[in-house]
Chains A and B, each alone.
Chain A
Amino acid sequence: MSAPIEQYLDELADRLPLRGRALRRVLCEVEDHLREALTEGVESGMTVAAATERALSRFGHPGVVAEQFARQGVTLRSWVWNLALSLGLLGAIGLFAIGVSGSLAAASGAAFGKDFVAGDPPGIRYTSERCAQLRELAPGAPTCNEAAVRHHYDEIVGMRLGAGVVGGAGLVGWMLLGRRWRRPGVLPDSFVPVAGAAVFGMAAVMLLAEGGLELAFSGAHTGPGQLLTGGVVALVMAVGFLFRLAPVGRGRRTALR
């Protein structure tokens, strides 16, 4: 059997939502089909390479074929389960992105000052009771406002990094288990990239717009970095998801049901 056909069967086996005997049956049928098509092509005067290419092209992209098999007997339960797994993946990616924005916030704080990330908007005043609390939380701060900035900065960076750790653990868990549990084809391959691009894209627009306005009208010491760092990471994520969409659409032909 030619290498491209073997590669095709390997890719199909990876994508098919089948196991054991059912998987062996489909692979056996597909292999028989491709061999037959290859033989027919060669007998009609084509080279082996050309006949192989034609056989594979006529059979269709492995993703499309696997999707057609996956649609057989899809239940509401499997649909909900796969939706939950996909949303879990998006959630883990989102938390990890928040962690990255925490690192960016820390870097911005080091570069432009902590008030770039955690400064208060103009007109904020703290009660003496709250000031005492803040000074306890940020000992060594010369003023109440500085104590507030330091405490809020630590909160922003710390909580974001914490979210990142949780998201990273979620991603590892998904790579180990979620991928195995997910049944290909129940949801479109494009679901996660489209949802990710939409959610992160909207977040990027809102955060960058609000952060930009704050920077323009209130200055760099009133905490616009908190929004801008989140916006920059969200924008990068949205673009990343858009790039993920390209391979999903490649090589597709109209499928029949």
Chain B
Amino acid sequence: MSGEQLKGHLDSLLLSVLSDEPMHGYGVIARLRDRSGGTFDLPEGTVYPALHRLERAGLVHSYWSSDTGRRRRLYELTTGGQESLAGARADWRSFSRGVTAVLGAAG
């Protein structure tokens, strides 16, 4: 899927991946790729600015961790992020129902 198609959905996708557990940037990207079956293969460097933007918006929180022996920045959802994700999921379900109804009817 092209970057253009993903625009506008990236924040929700990142929030969704982070809803599982706290994760570092590389893990977020790998999880996103795995979960989408390789459909969302992002230019990896653009995910970090998005994570920082979500952090500034108060939707994720980040902290340094050395649990694995390597100092890494972990990201986790805040309460605001969980609420935002719930809203995004509801919006998406409604949108996809509508699109499926129209496109499905044409088929």
Contacts and interface: CB of A to CB of B under 8 A. Distances in A.
Q: Does A associate with B in a complex? A: yes
Interface of A: 25-26, 28-30, 32-33, 36-37, 58-60, 62, 64-65, 68-69, 71-73, 253-257
User: Nearest 5 pairs between A and B by C-beta?
Assistant: A254-B3, A65-B45, A68-B49, A60-B45, A60-B43
Interface stretch (B15-23, B66-74, B77-85, B95-103): B66-74
Interface of B: 2-4, 6-7, 10, 24-26, 42-50, 52-53, 56, 70-73
6 contacts: A26-B48, A36-B26, A37-B26, A64-B46, A253-B43, A256-B7
A29 B75 CA distance: 12
Contacts of A32: 24-26, 70-73
A64 B53 CA distance: 16
Contacts of B26: 32-33, 36-37
A64 B48 CA distance: 12
A255 B3 contact: yes
Nearest to B47: A256
Contacts of B6: 256
Given A28-B71, A58-B43, A59-B45, 4 more contacts: A25-B73, A33-B24, A59-B43, A256-B47
B3 A33 contact: no
Contacts of B70: 32
Contacts of A33: 24-26, 44, 48
Contacts of B71: 28, 32
B53 A72 contact: yes
Nearest to A71: B49
Contacts of A58: 43-44
B92 to A, nearest CB: 18
B45 A30 contact: yes
A29 B24 CA distance: 9
Contacts of B53: 72
Contacts of B44: 33, 37, 58-60
Given A60-B43, A60-B44, A73-B56, A254 B49 contact: no
Contacts of A253: 3, 43
Contacts of A71: 49
B94 to A, nearest CB: 23
A64 B3 CA distance: 13
Nearest to A55: B44
Contacts of B25: 29, 32-33
Given A28-B71, A32-B72, A72-B56, A255 B43 contact: yes
